[in-house]
Amino acid sequence: MKKVKTPIEVRYQETDQMGIVYHANYLVWFEIGRTKFIEHLGFKYADMEKSNVVSPVIDAQITYKKAIRYGEKVMIETWLEQYDGIRTEYGYRILNENGELAVSGTTKHVIVNKDTFRPMSLRKAFPDWHAAYSKQLNEE
């Protein structure tokens, strides 16, 4: 399985009064990693949106292991956990400066028509994305 690594330098505004990254910011980092993963495959969310399609999160799971503090440099690893032509699940690991696991999680997504929010099949609407995602799963 191909993992895409994205570096992040913790910014002050991402922390709470204790200088620790605020828990909701990990979802933002997951999005950064997911966007880079998709770009690594040769696609862009913006192109999907030009087709009046968006990809909402339908489930998010996060496990916190170690605190990350202001000024640290971390690495987000992102990969395709599961894909069935309709639902896509991405996996994430956030490693601290010492390479230790600080946070892990997954997000599940579908694609929908932006105006109606009616679900769509990624397989049918974006066959090139479907082929790339299927290839990713087969490379495990």
Residue 43 confidence (pLDDT): 96
Residue 137 confidence (pLDDT): 87
Determine the Cα–Cα distance for residues 18 and 128; give it in Å rounded to an integer.
Answer: 45
Q: What end-to-end distance do the CA atoms of the chain give, in Å?
A: 4
Work out how many domains the chain is built from and give that number. Answer: 1
Q: Which domain holds residue 31?
A: 4-138
Residue 139 confidence (pLDDT): 75
Low-confidence ranges of the chain (pLDDT < 50): none
Rounded to the nearest 10 degrees, how much is the dihedral formed by the CA atoms of 35, 37, 43, 45? -20
Residue 131 confidence (pLDDT): 95
CA atoms within 13 Å, Cβ hemisphere of 109: 20
Is 59 one of the annotated active-site residues of the chain?
A: no
CATH number at residue 57: 3.10.129.10
pTM of the model: 0.94
